[in-house]
Amino acid sequence: MSLSHETYDEHKSRFDLQTLLDTSRLLIESHDVDFVLNNLLLISMGKMAVARAAILWLDPRKQAYYPIKKKGRIELPGFLSIPEEPFRERNAVFCDDHDDLSFLAGHGINFMIPIHNSTRHLGFLALGKKMGNIPVTLEETRILESFVFMSGIAISNSELVGELRSTNRKLDYKVQELHTLFDLSKAFNASVDRNEITRLFKYTLLGQLFIRRFFLILCRNDSPVNVTQNGLDDKPDTGQMNALFALENEITRVDDELRKQIPFLEESGIHLILKLHNDGGDPAILGLGKRANGKEFESTDFNFLISLSNLALMSIQKTYLLEDQIEKERMEEELQIARSIQQKLFPDNVPDIPTLQIAARNVPSYQVGGDYYDLIRHKNGNLTMAIADVTGKGVPASLLMANLQSVLHILQPFDISLVDATGQINALIYQNTPSDKFISFFWGFYDHEKKILTYVNAGHNPPVLMREGSEPEWLSEGGVLLGAMPTMLPYSEGKVTLQKGDLLVMYTDGVTEAMNKEEEEFGESRMISALAKFREHEPDRILESLVSEVSTYSDGHFTDDLTLIICKVQ
């Protein structure tokens, strides 16, 4: 088919230019692609007087065209492959003039004009023959091409406006999310009630993201804790919670393999797992079911979920820290009371014993400890002295120490030898304490008139007796630790006669086992050297000097209780 060459005056065009301009302006201002395509199709059919028309739209993924709009009795397949070659040199093309377009004539298409916007090809306006087989004029073609071109601009403008609207909606949604997070941050920070915080968290997931099934697990003190959950009939056990923390990815979509590994996910309908780190705080796991509105989770949802969860986690951890602080303060208060009670178990004052100067001191490594010493003055001026070290530290050791002190004071009024008394104490300790608890114990009876010390050493660090011009003598006669085994054999008894100037030092292993930065012990040799250096002084001065030496050596860090009794014979 060829175009008629009639002049415009001889054959007036069916298009009115003013109408074209007005219509184009209407299309450009519509901002609606569907409206533009409908009007492009209907106006073209009306002005060209055709009964069949369609708009063939390009699907970029398939690189084929599908009829997005059509009018009249026109049958078209779902997708058509249209070659580009016929449209390289001109816009309007008659299908009959090109062999590779002739197949379209069989579908009732006679005339095609490409639709473009400023950046890409969109599709074609496809028209059937004019009624009465009247030929299409050149002027009609040009005006129609202009109308299609203006429609392409209108479509481009509509798409741009649509993108702007979509962007604005997303921005509005983000602003709403930020406002929500800001309000929640204030609400979370204002609350120290963990139940209230988890309730706000739950309602936000329900109201903002339509999530009804979820759980939140926090790893606290290296153990998983199920902080809160909703819509679930059961709770994951410790093994399954640990398996969730072992997942490598920050975001994990639950698949069949993971459901087999962690059956709880299948049973509870959990669809998504998020790992949370909370700026270096305790890690956490958020498990989510599908959204009630059927929408899939998007990247923006993940950002909101992570921000929301971290806010909730910070506040939840704050409640735990507050509880820990309250518990710590309560424990410190109780330990302080226990310390004051324990201190009352030690002698209030060093007794005045004829022929003997005495200094004694206890330095606990904790607020309460397991070391014990006692100085009991008899009416006749004689003295029972004792020193002990209970295994362990803290409150359990202090309780056992208190029991020992009670037994010792109960036995004092009775006329019983040190050997027999030690055997009875051992039996009592063995029967009433766990197998891992025992006491190293040394005690002695000093006769101030005869200057004789009778003693029993039950597995304790042997006290050292230093005489002028002699090697140190260690007082080790006795038997096994208290509480280690039943009293099957009697303890043995040692005796030593003291002389003027003799120095007797009883101590616990907190002295000799104090360590420096290289983890070397202070040891007995350093203790003997320090005692030799200060032995000319009074017992108080010797004691303070020895404690200072040990403190300097260990940089002030006592890993065990330290107890000393220092006696100097007059």
- Domain co-membership, 500 together with 371: yes
Say if 186 falls within a structural domain.
Answer: no
Among 305, 321, 337, the domain-final residue is 321
Say which CATH number the domain at 219 has: 3.30.450.40
pLDDT of residue 497: 96
Say if 331 falls within a structural domain.
Answer: no
Among 272, 304, 321, the domain-final residue is 321
Q: What angle do CA 554, 558, 563 make, to 5 degrees?
A: 115
- Domain co-membership, 218 together with 109: no
- Domain co-membership, 465 together with 541: yes
Pair 438, 427: CB distance under 8 Å: no
- Domain co-membership, 132 together with 77: yes
- Domain co-membership, 279 together with 406: no
Say which CATH number the domain at 532 has: 3.60.40.10
283: left (phi over 0), alpha (psi -120 to 50) or beta: beta
- Domain co-membership, 116 together with 224: no
Say if 2 falls within a structural domain.
Answer: no
Burial class, 99, CB count within 10 angstroms (exposed 0-12 / middle 13-18 / buried 19+): exposed
Pair 95, 104: CB distance under 8 Å: yes
Phi, psi of 286 (to 5 degrees): -115, 115
H or E stretch including 178? helix 138-190
Q: What angle do CA 235, 237, 204 make, to 5 degrees?
A: 35
Q: Which two tokens stand for residue 9?
A: 């005056």
pLDDT of residue 270: 92
Say if 184 falls within a structural domain.
Answer: no
What is the DSSP secondary-structure string of 502-568?
-EEEEE-HHHHT-B-TT--B-HHHHHHHHHHHHTTS-HHHHHHHHHHHHHHHTTT--SS-EEEEEEE
Domain encompassing residue 272: 191-321
- Domain co-membership, 370 together with 485: yes
Count Cα atoms within 13 angstroms, Cβ side, for 289: 20
pLDDT of residue 5: 47
Say if 462 falls within a structural domain.
Answer: yes
pLDDT of residue 279: 66
10-residue stretch averages of pLDDT, the chain, 570 residues long: 45 52 69 84 86 91 91 87 81 85 86 86 91 82 84 82 74 68 75 85 86 90 88 89 90 91 90 82 87 86 84 84 84 73 79 94 75 92 93 73 84 87 91 85 96 96 94 96 90 96 95 92 95 94 95 87 94
Pair 121, 130: CB distance under 8 Å: no
- Domain co-membership, 224 together with 302: yes
- Domain co-membership, 70 together with 142: yes
- Bridge partners, residue 93, by sequence: 112
- Domain co-membership, 312 together with 354: no
Q: How many CB atoms lie within 10 A of CB 570?
A: 13
Say if 335 falls within a structural domain.
Answer: no
pLDDT of residue 15: 46
- Domain co-membership, 427 together with 531: yes
Say if 10 falls within a structural domain.
Answer: no
Name the E strands within 78-169: 93-94, 111-116, 121-127
C-alpha to C-alpha distance for 40 and 147, rounded to whole angstroms = 8
pLDDT of residue 533: 93
Pair 262, 282: CB distance under 8 Å: no
Say if 179 falls within a structural domain.
Answer: no
Give Cα 209 to chain centroid, integer Å: 23
Helix axes 138-190, 17-30, angle to 10 degrees: 20
- Domain co-membership, 309 together with 205: yes
Q: How many domains does the chain have?
A: 3
C-alpha to C-alpha distance for 113 and 106, rounded to whole angstroms = 18
Q: What angle do CA 73, 76, 81 make, to 5 degrees?
A: 150
Q: Residue type for 542, please? A: I
pLDDT of residue 305: 86
